[in-house]
Each structure stands twice: as structure tokens, then as C-alpha cells.
Structure 1
Amino acid sequence: MMNIGIIGSGNIGSALAGYLTNLGHQVMIANSRGPGSISELAAKTGAIPATTEQAAGAEDLVIIAIPEKAIPDLPISILAASRAIIVDAGNYYPSRDGRNTDIESGLTDSEWVAKVIGHPVIKAFNNIVAPSLASKAVVAGSADRIAISVAGNDEQEKQVVMDLIDQIGFDAIDAGLLSKSWRQQPGEPAYCRDLDKDALKSALADADISKRAANLAHADEMARPYL
């Protein structure tokens, strides 16, 4: 059993809370509005409503599933000192998050998150749409099993996250170093498509870094009405 904190009670955080508690893990979930605002969600998922500080202090795994603009408001000192694996599940959308010069100068979304919180991160759960995450988990070996890509610099931590993804009900593939995680960001071929393992590997390989800025701009424009 792992002690897990989830920061963010939106669609991604909520779905993960349900899956992880069902697997027997102790899960705390938090948002910026405080524990009282997520009592109904906690009752539904079995997760423990918590403060952001409590979730950030989870011993084994911390999942950050919030907009990039909210990252600087996290309890940085707790995250920086954490011994847990920290997963970034967020995506940068300029029309929602404001212009981020670090990202637009070349950092991946998650490299920027790691820089802000002062702790290495694993990138995962960002390239699947929330309805698919919530409803399309299936047992290993199923023909229609969706794959999720995982990027990071620590192979052991990456494997822990990949194992969790498999237990939840999705295939997991190693997407390489965190510097390569731009390939699973908004606008890229691997982003928010229900792909199996082989198709996701091909989509990651098809990503063209020379098109990264244009792809992000297009994705941002398409998502603008919903952000």
C-alpha cells in the first residue's frame, strides 16, 4: 500500500483518486478551496479530503493535476523536500495559464514544473482525455487497451508510475527523458488520442520539434472556448 497525495480535484485527479483507492492505496486529495469543498468527492472515491500541504506531504507519491498557472501557489517548501515520487499531469495552455517564457523558450511543461517546485518530476496522465481515463480502463491483454506515455529522468520512479498505470487498466510506455516530454504535450500527435501501445509509440516518433510552437498555438486556439 502506498501513501498518495493528489493535488487537484478536477476530472483527472478525481478519476485517479477512485482508481488508486480501489487498488488499496491510502489516498489524500486536495484542491485550492480546502477539504470542505471535496467531501462529496471523497465519499464517492474513498479518498481522504486534505489540505494542499497534507497532500504534498504524502510519503510515496504526489500527483499534481492542476493548471500550470497554479503551480507557483503550491506549498513549494514541502514539495522541494519531499522523498516521494512527484508526477506532473498538467498541460500548458497560454490562453488559460498566461504566457510562460520559460516554456516558450524551450523547456517542456514538466521541466518548468520541476524548476518551480525544486524537485524532479515524472510526466504522466497528461496525454489522455479525462472521459477516457475515467471510463476506458480494461484488463491487461485487451485488444482495445489505451496506452499512456510516461517520461522522466529516473528509471526506477518511472517504472513505479508505469506499474500503477498498468494496474489501473491502461498500457504504459516509456517516453524517454523529461526533455522529450514535449512529444506528449498539447497539439502533438500523441496528445489526447485513444491510441494503443504501438500507435502511441508511432505518434511519439512522428512528433516534429520544429512544429512544436505551431502545434501548441493550434491546440490552444482549439481549446480556448473550453478553458
Structure 2
Amino acid sequence: MIGAASPSPASPRIAVLGAGHVGPAIARVAIAAGHQVTISASGDPEEIALITGVLVPGAEPRWAADAVADADIVMLSIPLHRFATFDPALVAGKLVVDTMNYWPPVDGVQELFEDPRHGSSEIVQRRLPRSTVVKTLNHIGYHELEEERRPPGSPERHALGVAGDDPAAVAVVADVVERIGYDTVRLASLAAGRLFQPGGPVFGASLRLGEFERALNPEAA
């Protein structure tokens, strides 16, 4: 693991939407990497203030609208079954990181995500047309996200994929992932993010950079 970094005014401010298992884990590693982090659930921030203080020290619980308004990056970590009623206006104009997965054995069948022509993050982007969506952090368990962080150059450092249609947005998010403690493999389309989904070649796998690249493109090996 790596130690905490000093907060930097140049670090993007992060709003985490979702206070279940994944959201707090992302918040913790982002704080450790030097980011200012707010966290929101579906209601009054007072309802998560105590648990936030215990599980995510350093994160500020806020109303979702307030958290998003002040953020440079929004981590979308809500339960997937709630996305159908998610208000797109909440994140309009924002860089949104989709950390969710559609996994019917776990989530049940969600009609919105049953279109085989599109990956789940493509569907998220279609529902959030005024946001820029990038896919990452969905293919690693929340426990592993914290435990497997390593500093740059470590022979034990693992890689994560970052996929999106906007190269500048992908670069911003990849920088956050690298600060957290991972190498990154950047894919130039949100459609390519289907490789990160359940059943894909890197989902749930702990791979170093070369291994990750070969898993995504075995023919190039």
C-alpha cells in the first residue's frame, strides 16, 4: 500500500455519489491521494455524517446537488437499479466516472441495460447526454482497490483500465487513478469499456501493466 499524499490545490475535487461499499472505498483512496472529497447518499447528509466520520475520515457529507456543483469529477457509485430514476440534470456539464456494473445475477434484470448493442457505460452516457462519461474502477473489488495500491515503479503495482470517448477526460481520470496507486491502460472509446464489464477479460483480475494489456489484446502478445 501507499501512504497519504498532501492535499494539492491542483488536484481535481471529487464528489462521490453513493455511500454503500464502493463509494466510501473510492473516497478513502482519493483522500489518501490528496484529493478534496465530498460524499452523498440519496438523502439528507446528516443521515450519513456519523458513518462518514468513521469510514471515510476527511470526506465531507453533503447534499448531492451541492457536492456535484463544487466538484471537478463526479464518481457515480450508486446501486445500479437506482440509475433508471437518476436525474441527468444533477450532473449536467460534469465529468462523470461510471464505476457501476450491470450484473443480472446480482442486480436482477434491469431493462434499461438489456440492450446488447451497447455496453453499460454507453447506456449511462446516453442517459446523461450533457455529461462526459468515463468508465473505470468498476473491474476491481472495493477491498482490492485499497489493498493493492502501490507507488509508481513498484514491481507489484497493478493496472486499471480507463475508457472514454473524450481523450482529455480520459487523461484527467487516468491521472487520478495513477495518483491513487495504479498504472493505467487508456482505451479511446466508451464502447471499448465493455472489456471491463463482468465476464470481460480483466473483470476481477489483479494484473500488472503488461498482463493487463495482453489480456485486452491477446493477439498482440
How many residues in Structure 1 have an aligned counterpart in Structure 2?
205
Q: Write out aligned runs for 1:1-227 (5 A).
A: 1=9, 2-43=12-53, 44-80=56-92, 82=93, 84-95=94-105, 96-100=107-111, 102-118=113-129, 119-206=131-218
Using the size of structure 1 for normalisation, the TM-score is 0.83
Q: Separation in 2 of the partners of 1:16 and 1:63?
A: 8
Q: Is the 8 A contact 2:81 2:110 kept in 1?
A: no
Q: Separation in 1 of the partners of 2:198 and 2:75?
A: 19
Report the CA distance between 1:165 and its aligned residue: 0.9
Q: Separation in 2 of the partners of 1:29 and 1:13?
A: 8
Q: Counterpart of 1:219?
A: none
Q: Is the 8 A contact 1:85 1:121 kept in 2?
A: yes
**Aligned partner letter, 1:69:** H
Q: Separation in 2 of the partners of 1:179 and 1:17?
A: 26
Q: Is the 8 A contact 2:76 2:97 kept in 1?
A: yes
| Matched position secondary structure for 1:70 | helix
| Matched position secondary structure for 1:25 | coil
Runs of 4+ in 1 over 6 A off after TM superposition: none
Report the CA distance between 1:104 and its aligned residue: 3.1
Distance 1:99 1:42, change over 3 A: closer
Q: Is the 8 A contact 2:196 2:203 kept in 1?
A: yes
Q: Is the 8 A contact 2:162 2:184 kept in 1?
A: yes
CA RMSD of aligned residues (A): 1.9
Report the CA distance between 1:102 and its aligned residue: 5.0
Q: Is the 8 A contact 2:167 2:188 kept in 1?
A: no
Q: Separation in 1 of the partners of 2:51 and 2:205?
A: 27
Unpaired runs of 5+ residues, structure 1, are: 208-227
Write 1 or 2 for the structure with the bigger share of helix.
1
Provide the identity percentage: 28
**Aligned partner letter, 1:21:** I
Unpaired runs of 5+ residues, structure 2, are: 1-8
**Aligned partner letter, 1:91:** N
| Matched position secondary structure for 1:104 | coil
Bigger drift between 52-61 and 42-51 goes to 52-61
Q: Is the 8 A contact 1:4 1:25 kept in 2?
A: yes
Q: Is the 8 A contact 1:71 1:116 kept in 2?
A: no
